[in-house]
Amino acid sequence: MDPSLHLKPGSRVGDYIVDHELGRGGSAVVYSARRAPDAPSFTGVPQGPLALKLQHLDQPEARKRFVREFETLRELRIPGIAEVYEAGEHERLLWFSMQQVDGTDFREKLQGIPDIRARVLAAAQLGAQLCQVLMAIHRHGYIHRDIKPGNVLVDTRNQLV
């Protein structure tokens, strides 16, 4: 992973101030962030914490996927998909801001349920929600190519986001 994607709290990316890292994948990092006090107002972007996904510009194919991901998420305003707000470039980084989910990933959620019957029931309920989200994505003409427990977030109300 590119060292330029390791940002310290207080770093500025576009109109956002980075708070802390939320997650890291093969080519991108997601930080908790907030709009800078001097940032122009942007309709639809919450004032509270949000997620800021970053990727380095030097990977042309990855850049295309990153931009396509933002454009796709912007079109998909459906329950179970985090809402995206805006995107840009900053000091050799691509970024987009999105809804920050207060919750945990699918695997951690299930591992946190000690009773096996309750865990199986939760897995079935969350799995059914995931199928509904994937069907909605497919109805819009898209295919999610990276479904895995770490990419499925469950909020504090046991809903996929």
Q: Which two tokens stand for residue 32?
A: 């908790």
- In contact, 99 and 82? CB cutoff 8 Å: yes
- pLDDT at position 101 is 87
Structure pTM? Answer: 0.84
Strand bridging mode 50-56 / 93-98: antiparallel
User: Between 92 and 13, whose confidence is greater?
Assistant: 13
Q: 99-119 pLDDT, tens per residue?
A: 998 889 999 999 999 999 999
Residue 27 backbone dihedrals phi, psi, to 5 degrees = -135, 0
Positions marked catalytic: 146
Cα separation, 57 vs 5, in Å, equals: 11
- Closest by CA position to 133, among listed 158, 110, 160: 160
Cα separation, 18 vs 31, in Å, equals: 6
